[in-house]
C-alpha cells in the first residue's frame, strides 16, 4: 500500500479511499498509539470531528487503533479544531485527533494531530509519527492492556466557556451580526457563543446533514463573491457577517455594505489594536507568501514589520514560537493569536475579537473604514487539478514561461507556484503593481497552471481563477 504522508495540514484525501478509509485510519491510530507509548506521562487521546458523513466511521477506526495500543480515548463528537486543541491543553491529554478536511467538500476527509499543550505536531514529530505508522505497531493486543473508551460530548461546553470568557463584560447585546456556519463544526458552537454573550445573531447554514458541509456556503463561498451571507448582512443592515469553514479554524468577514474582509484585513485590524495595547510583541505580524503586499505596506505605515513564511499555519506557528511573536495568520482567514490561551487558529474566537472591536468603537461603519485602509495590489490565484505532483524545477517549459511572465510583470511582480498540501491541485498566485490588470494576471496564471498540467497528463481545462482582492471568480480564455 502507498505510504501514508502528512501534508501541510495533516493527512487528507478522498473519504473511503486509502489512506482516508477504515483500514488506513486504523493504521494511523495504531501508529499514533505506538508513538505515544514511547513517551512518558498521560496516555489519553481526545478525538473530535466535523459534520462529514464519513466522520463517524473514521472516528471509530482511529479510536480502535489507539485502543489496541493501550491508549485511552475520549470522543467528544462534533467540535472545532480549536476546541480539540483547547481540551488537549486544559486536561493535559497526550494528544488530540481532529477528523476533518477543513474547507473541502464532504467527499474529502482528513486527520489532524494535536500534540501535548494543544499545539499541532511539528514537522519533525510528523516525520517520527510517519515511521510508526509505516512500520506498524510493535506490540499486539494480547501483549499490552487495552485502552478505555469514553464518549463525552459535554466537554464542548468547557470550550465554549473558554471562547467567550474574555468578552463577558462587553455589551454584545448591541451587536447585530450574521453567522454562516458552513453546515460544519461551528453549527452549534458559534451561535451558542454569541447567544451566551447577549447577541442574537442571524444564523445560516447551521443544519448539517453530512453532505452539505461547505456546499455553497462558508468561508470559501464568501471569498468567491456574492453569497447568502453578503445578502443577509446588507439587507438587514447588520454590523458584520462572519463565515467559517468546515472545522471553523478560518473566518472570512463581510462589512455592512457587503465588502469582503479576508485574513489580510483581519491581521491589520488586530495588529493595530494589539500595538495600541503594547501587546504586539516585536511589533511584528507573521504571514505567508500569499499575503497581499498592500498589507505589508499599510502595516509598515503603522510601524509594524511583516515576516513571511511558507504557506501553512504550522509554518506561521513555528516562526511565532521561535521568536516569541504574538500575531500571525493567512489570507484565507486562519488567524493565530498566540497569547498563552490559544494555540491554533480559531475562527469563532477571531470573529468575537473583531466584534468586540466594533462594539468598543461604537461605529456601525468600523469595518468599512478598516477595509478602506487596506489598498490591495492586483492579485489572483489559479487552481488547476493535477493527478500527480512531479518536481516543478525540472519543467523547462514552466521555467521559461515563468521567466517571461516575470519580465513582463517587472521587479515588483510576484509569482508563487506550488502544489496544494491538502488537495490534488497546483496553485499559482500572481501579484503586480498597477502596470498589470487583474484580467491580465488571470491569463498568465492560467498559462502557468496549464504548463504544470501538461507534465501531469491533465487536460489543462479544469482551472479556477479568483481575484484575491474581491474574492470573485474570473473567467478567461487561454
The answer to whether residues 251 and 219 touch, using CB atoms and an 8 Å cutoff, is: yes
Go through 351-372 and write b for each residue having 16 or more CB atoms within 10 A of its CB, e for each that does not.
bbbbbbbbbeeeeeebbeebbe
The C-alpha atoms of residue 462 and residue 172 are separated, in whole angstroms, by 45
Three-state DSSP class for residue 431: strand
Closest C-alpha to 208, from 71, 52, 408:
52
Burial class (CB in 10 A: 0-12, 13-18, 19+), 407: exposed
The answer to whether residues 371 and 418 touch, using CB atoms and an 8 Å cutoff, is: no
Q: Confirm whether 361 is a catalytic residue.
A: no
Go through 444-471 and write b for each residue having 16 or more CB atoms within 10 A of its CB, e for each that does not.
bbbbbbbbbbebbebebeebbbbbbbbb
Per the residue annotation, which of 54, 64, 89, 102 is the catalytic one? 102
Task: State the cell numbers at 227.
Answer: 453569497
Q: Looking at the DSSP assignment, which residues form a beta bridge with residue 467?
A: 380
Dump the DSSP string for 170-227. S-GGG--EEEE-TTTTHHHHHHHHHHHTT---EEES----SS-TTTT-HHHHHHTS--
Q: Can you point out the beta strands (E) in 357-446?
A: 379-385, 414-419, 425-431
Burial class (CB in 10 A: 0-12, 13-18, 19+), 430: buried
Closest C-alpha to 212, from 228, 199, 223:
228
The C-alpha atoms of residue 114 and residue 95 are separated, in whole angstroms, by 5
Closest C-alpha to 122, from 339, 337, 316:
316
Dump the DSSP string for 102-171. TTS-TTEEEEEEE-GGGPBPPHHHHHHHHHHHHH--SS-TTSSPPP-EEE-TTHHHHHHHHHHGGGTTS-
The answer to whether residues 30 and 137 touch, using CB atoms and an 8 Å cutoff, is: yes
Task: State the cell numbers at 463.
Answer: 482551472
Catalytic residue ranges: 102
Amino acid at each position: 500500500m502507498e505510504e501514508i504522508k502528512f501534508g501541510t495540514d495533516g493527512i487528507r484525501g478522498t473519504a473511503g479511499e486509502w489512506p482516508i478509509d477504515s483500514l488506513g485510519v486504523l493504521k494511523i491510530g495504531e501508529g499514533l498509539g505506538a508513538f505515544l507509548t514511547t513517551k512518558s506521562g498521560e496516555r489519553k487521546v481526545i478525538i473530535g470531528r466535523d459534520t462529514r458523513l464519513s466522520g463517524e466511521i473514521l472516528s471509530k477506526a482511529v479510536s480502535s487503533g489507539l485502543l489496541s495500543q493501550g491508549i485511552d480515548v475520549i470522543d467528544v463528537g462534533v467540535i472545532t479544531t480549536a476546541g480539540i486543541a483547547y481540551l488537549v491543553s486544559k486536561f493535559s491529554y497526550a494528544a488530540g485527533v481532529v477528523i476533518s478536511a477543513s474547507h473541502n467538500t464532504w467527499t474529502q476527509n482528513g486527520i489532524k494531530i494535536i500534540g501535548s499543550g494543544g499545539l499541532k505536531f511539528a514537522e519533525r514529530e510528523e516525520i517520527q509519527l510517519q515511521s510508526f505508522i509505516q512500520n506498524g505497531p510493535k506490540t499486539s493486543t494480547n501483549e499490552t492492556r487495552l485502552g478505555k473508551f469514553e464518549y463525552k460530548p459535554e466537554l464542548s461546553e468547557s470550550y465554549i466557556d473558554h471562547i467567550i470568557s474574555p468578552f463577558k463584560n462587553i455589551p454584545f447585546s448591541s451587536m447585530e451580526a450574521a453567522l454562516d456556519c458552513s453546515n460544519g463544526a461551528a453549527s452549534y458552537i458559534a451561535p451558542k457563543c454569541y447567544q451566551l454573550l447577549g447577541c442574537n445573531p442571524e444564523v445560516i447554514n447551521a443544519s448539517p446533514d453530512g453532505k452539505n458541509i461547505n456546499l455553497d456556503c462558508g468561508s470559501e463561498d464568501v471569498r468567491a463573491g456574492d453569497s447568502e451571507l453578503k445578502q443577509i448582512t446588507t439587507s438587514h443592515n447588520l454590523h458584520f457577517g462572519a463565515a467559517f469553514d468546515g472545522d471553523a479554524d478560518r473566518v472570512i468577514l463581510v462589512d455592512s455594505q457587503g465588502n469582503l474582509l479576508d485574513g489580510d484585513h483581519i491581521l491589520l485590524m488586530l495588529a493595530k489594536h494589539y500595538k495600541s495595547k503594547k501587546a504586539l510583541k516585536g511589533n511584528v505580524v507573521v504571514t505567508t507568501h500569499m499575503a497581499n503586499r498592500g498589507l505589508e505596506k499599510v502595516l509598515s505605515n503603522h510601524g509594524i514589520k511583516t515576516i513571511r513564511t511558507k504557506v501553512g499555519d504550522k509554518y506561521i506557528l513555528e516562526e511565532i514560537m521561535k521568536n516569541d511573536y504574538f500575531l500571525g495568520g493567512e489570507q484565507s482567514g486562519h488567524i493565530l493569536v498566540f497569547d498563552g490561551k490559544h494555540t491554533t487558529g480559531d475562527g469563532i474566537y477571531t470573529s468575537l475579537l473583531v466584534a468586540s472591536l466594533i462594539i468598543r468603537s461604537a461605529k456601525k461603519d468600523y469595518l468599512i473604514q478598516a477595509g478602506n485602509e487596506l489598498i490591495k495590489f492586483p492579485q489572483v490565484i489559479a487552481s488547476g487539478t493535477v493527478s500527480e505532483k512531479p518536481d516543478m524545477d525540472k519543467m523547462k517549459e514552466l521555467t521559461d514561461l515563468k521567466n517571461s511572465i516575470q519580465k513582463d510583470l517587472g521587479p515588483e511582480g510576484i509569482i508563487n507556484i506550488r502544489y496544494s498540501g491538502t488537495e490534488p491541485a497546483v496553485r499559482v498566485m500572481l501579484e503586480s503593481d498597477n502596470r498589470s490588470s487583474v484580467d491580465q494576471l488571470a491569463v498568465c496564471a492560467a498559462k502557468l497552471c496549464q504548463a504544470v498540467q501538461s507534465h501531469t497528463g491533465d487536460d489543462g481545462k479544469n482551472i479556477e481563477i479568483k481575484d484575491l482582492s474581491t474574492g470573485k471568480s474570473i473567467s478567461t480564455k487561454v
